[in-house]
Chain A
Amino acid sequence: MSLHVDVAVTRGRFTLDVTFDVPAGSVLAVLGPNGSGKSTLLQCLAGLLVPDSAAVTLDGRTLTRAPGVQVPVHDRGIGLLAQDPLLLPHLTAVENVAFGPRSQGVRPSRARAQAREWLRRADAAELTGRRPAQLSGGQAQRVAIARALAGGPRALLLDEPLSALDVDAAPAIRGLLRRVLRRTQSAHSGESGDGEVVPDGERCAVLVTHDPLDVLALADDVVVLDAGRIAERGPAKEVLAAPRTAFTARIAGLNLVPGVAAADGLHAPNGRFVAGVPSGDCLPGEPAVAVFAPGAVAVHPAGAPHTGSPRNVVDARVASLEPHGAVIRLRTAGDGGAETGIAADLTPASVAELGLEPGSAVRLEVKAASVAVHPAA
């Protein structure tokens, strides 16, 4: 029970060539900048594009084997949640959600009941009778999520599902997606709702995104796409915290400190408190991760007086200094709660001015406002 993908497509001078597996019940993130082949990959999976050579199988059923086999879009059992909610404008919210079950032959009254149940699960029960034109971006995306799940897909494709939302709506929708994608079979086996076609624990998902935060919040594993090829793959947290390639480090390199969420930050296991801003769906006492970009870390000489606003101050020792494009990425020896050390970006001029070299003692400072605290996947 899983999604197996092996796709090669050439379009003009661009070549996409990827292979990966998504185990049942897990979420794979495909992370990459624009033009890395994410959209092409999604089109191949959805059945819109016939690859030059490919094998796509879902739960043992061949969907695409190019050349030759190409199961049409409506028969693949692959749902799609796009950046734009794409609710059918002539139908109400509940009719939109009932569209999938209706198309698959469920009777109207039963399809409506299922649709109501899915809307309730997406916290959108009060939107039932509304038309898409009367919904805000976040509300429309909630309905779209309910609709995608009501279609009973064996696999769900998520195409930048949060990038069209404004900053206020995104955390709540991210939280909703976390809930519907990541809840395990055992946790909710008692609540086998009316609309259940594929048990949550068996559905797999592919999330395409350019935002490392989405990966962190939603995915188990990640593949990083660079110009149509997989630059790196592995468990999401490991890849994001300790990128092995410069490419991944540039687009996804983040400092991650796991711990337990607090009202205004996070308690790391080594007793250190990281001040930060919890996201909307982050509850105090729950497992969480503090996230901050290497560019947000200020580097001072050891013993420098602590002045100004930054509330997170760590004394550490430089482990490595590597060029990353225009900046130098400094990595400290494992400390400060992050097992892999903390990464900080500096200009070559600052490195020279501070006289930094491996082994130098430094004091790192991070403003609390630059630290986001997210629920741990």
Chain B
Amino acid sequence: MPWVLWIPAGLALALVVLPVAGLLVRTDYARLPALLTSDAALSALRLSLVTALASTIACVVLGVPLAVVLARARGRGVRLVRAVVLLPLVLPPVVGGLALLFLLGRNGFLGYLLDVVAGVSVPFTTTAVVIAQTFVAMPFLVVSLEGALRSGGQRYELVAATLGARPWTVFRRVTVPLLLPALGSGAVLSFARALGEFGATITFAGSLEGVTRTLPLEVYAQAQADVDSAVALALLLIVVAVVVIAVARPKAFDR
């Protein structure tokens, strides 16, 4: 390794570490307990954890079948579908939130249908938060699962079939167990992404305290009113993020 690499590497590290350090320096530790246990902060934390967990579950339930279909289905259309699935990765979240609003909002065609048929309005509810978070987080899960499925190949599935296992048995007893490591890291990544989601949430779900105002939205709201409070909440998000990395430690972070 040429030693010159140390210079940009050090800069990159500083770019990550220094802002966090700045936040730590700026924190008002005397008021920290009071700021973190305020009603607004606690309700935002609770909402964040609940919605991020719900969207992670939604990502797994919907993302695993999607990844298997993308990895195993043959045909020209699959390529196009894969590109579409990856869209939320590159799309600005605000645009995603706007798109969701025009689909599920009162004037969107699905939203109108839901309103007329079931009397349900999705935008600006906790459900909207979960949908927005799932929208931005699912590609993380799908990409890591599809990579694992492709690199693993179909040899184990084939051998299971020659032993008389029907397709559903093969999926349950071979495909899913072999996917578990990738599923773990994919789910952690999705959870972290959902937890940090801001743009799509504020556009599609708004910022109603206790209903749609998750931690990042609360940080943003406080940054304009009480900077100390915003910093304290930011610190909380950092702690949650560190805990996520430490507890679940996706393979991607290990190597």
Contacts and interface: CB of A to CB of B under 8 A. Distances in A.
Interface stretch (B44-52, B128-136, B154-162, B243-251): B154-162
Contact of B165 (A48, A74, A77): A74
A79 interface: yes
Contacts of A77: 164
Contacts of B173: 99, 103
Given A89-B178, A90-B178, A103 B159 contact: no
A134 interface: no
B174 interface: yes
B164 A103 contact: yes
Interface in B148-177: 155-156, 158-167, 169-170, 173-174, 177
B178 A79 contact: no
Nearest to B176: A90
A375 interface: no
A139 B166 CA distance: 28
Given A86-B155, A86-B156, A88-B156, A74 B161 contact: yes
A74 B159 contact: no
Contacts of A48: 158
Nearest to B177: A90
Contacts of A147: 163
Interface string B170-207: 10011001101000000000000000000000000000
A90 B170 CA distance: 13
A239 interface: no
Contacts of A152: 164
Interface residues of B, number: 19
Contacts, number: 65
Nearest to A85: B159
A80 B160 CA distance: 10
Given A86-B155, A103-B169, A151 B164 contact: yes
A99 B165 contact: yes
B155 A88 contact: no
Contacts of A84: 155
B229 to A, nearest CB: 48
B158 A73 contact: yes
Interface string A71-87: 01111111110101010
Interface in A93-137: 99-100, 103-104
Interface in B34-86: none
A148 B161 CA distance: 11
Contacts of A148: 162-163
A88 B174 contact: yes
A215 interface: no
Interface of B: 155-156, 158-167, 169-170, 173-174, 177-178, 180
18 contacts: A46-B158, A72-B161, A74-B161, A74-B162, A74-B164, A74-B170, A76-B162, A80-B159, A82-B155, A88-B160, A88-B177, A99-B165, A99-B173, A100-B165, A103-B163, A103-B166, A104-B164, A152-B164
